[in-house]
Amino acid sequence: KMAGSSTPWIGSAYLFLQSTCKTIVLPSLYESSQKKPSVFKALKLALADSTGSVNGVDMLKVHCSHPHLIVQLKFCKQENCRRFLRSYREGALQESLQNHLQLSLAMTTVPLEMELKAGNEHLDNMLKDEDRCLECIYREKPDRLRDEEISELEECLKSLIVHQSINNNVAVKGCASLNSPSLPCPSQGSSLSPQVTFIFQGQHFANRTLTPDDHQKFAKLVSKKWKQVGRSLQKDCRALRDPVIDNLALEYDREGLYEQAYQLLLRFIQSEGKKATIARLIAALEENGLISLAEELLGLHSNEDCS
């Protein structure tokens, strides 16, 4: 049973967003420091519309996983989650987000496809059973605190709203103020990790957070050893503890090794945020003898390898 009145009702879900227009790639827009605040603003406003309150649902993390933009949501009240589910089921959330993106990005139209997941459950398959959806969301407790980047974007948005109310200006014009160099650029973030460089094969490399390109290369090249790498990463990543890796193997069995490996690293990146660094992945690859893949990720392969 779900929590009674004495316990706070907290649940989590992932909202997958993809544009059906080939020229609009949501992850690329979000990765652009100029467009990111505009996309974030549209997400924030549409989610507020869906629950009837700015604080009805929290965004914990926005993750770029081409071609999807994935938003990790946290609900703190059952009634807010219920409103969100109805808005999602009736298409109101989709319409609202399309409209807000259109305004924020100054585009003619931004057609979207959406998918909602809680853990292994695809909620789109059970939307008519609202209570079951609520139970799935309630079962999934958030595995992370709100990302620093989200907090920075929230502050940017607040200052923009104040700026707009003073000027009574058009929303799209107001967005320009977010691009000024004086505001902190969330994409640059704060320090990644105490470890600024790491050593691989006697060379020093700059540590950095994993990129979408790293993610794709890993999934493409790790092959059957993805589970072993996962178990190496598992040592200091709670989100990969047992039985998560075996569950991923079962859930994505039909899609094959690429998708299994992709989902593994996705979990790592989502839970670790800025601490999901190249140094940690390279160490896990070394531990499992995947030197060639480590070299590929660090750009050490010469052209002769492609022949």
CATH code where residue 258 lies: 1.10.533.10
Q: Provide the number of structural domains found in the chain.
A: 2
Is-cis flag, bond preceding 27, omega within 30?
no
CB atoms near residue 282 (< 10 Å):
22
Share of the chain above pLDDT 90, in %: 64
Do residue 137 and residue 217 come from a single domain?
no
pTM: 0.54
What does DSSP say about strands 121-122 and 11-19: parallel, antiparallel, or unpaired?
Answer: unpaired
pLDDT tens-place string over residues 114-135: 999 999 999 999 999 999 999 9
pLDDT tens-place string over residues 226-281: 999 999 999 989 899 889 999 999 999 999 999 999 999 999 999 999 899 999 99
* Token pair for 53: 């309150």
Segment of 1-10, 38-47, 102-111 carrying the highest mean pLDDT: 38-47
What confidence category does residue 11 fall into, taking pLDDT thresholds of 50, 70 and 90?
very high
DSSP string, 225-270: GHHHHHHHHHTT-GGG-TTHHHHHHHHTTTT-HHHHHHHHHHHHHH
136 vs 206, higher pLDDT: 136
Do residue 204 and residue 146 come from a single domain?
no
Share of the chain above pLDDT 70, in %: 84
pLDDT value, residue 195? 55
Tell the burial category of 256 from Cβ atoms under 10 Å away from its Cβ (0-12, 13-18, 19+). exposed
Mean pLDDT, residues 139-159 taken together: 86
Do residue 244 and residue 134 come from a single domain?
no
Q: Give the domain range for residue 277.
A: 197-298
Do residue 133 and residue 243 come from a single domain?
no
Do residue 112 and residue 244 come from a single domain?
no
* Token pair for 241: 């503890």
Do residue 16 and residue 107 come from a single domain?
yes
Query: What is d(CA 174, CA 166) in angstroms, rounded to the nearest whole number?
Result: 11
Low-confidence winner among 112-116, 172-176, 201-205, 293-297 (lowest mean pLDDT): 172-176
Do residue 24 and residue 137 come from a single domain?
yes
Number of continuous H segments (helices) and E segments (strands) in the chain? 13, 7
Do residue 134 and residue 245 come from a single domain?
no
* Residue 70, in any domain of the structure: yes
Mean pLDDT, residues 11-37 taken together: 94
Do residue 120 and residue 215 come from a single domain?
no
Residue 15 sits in a domain whose CATH number is 3.30.70.680
HSE, CB side, 13 Å, CA atoms: give it for residue 30. 27
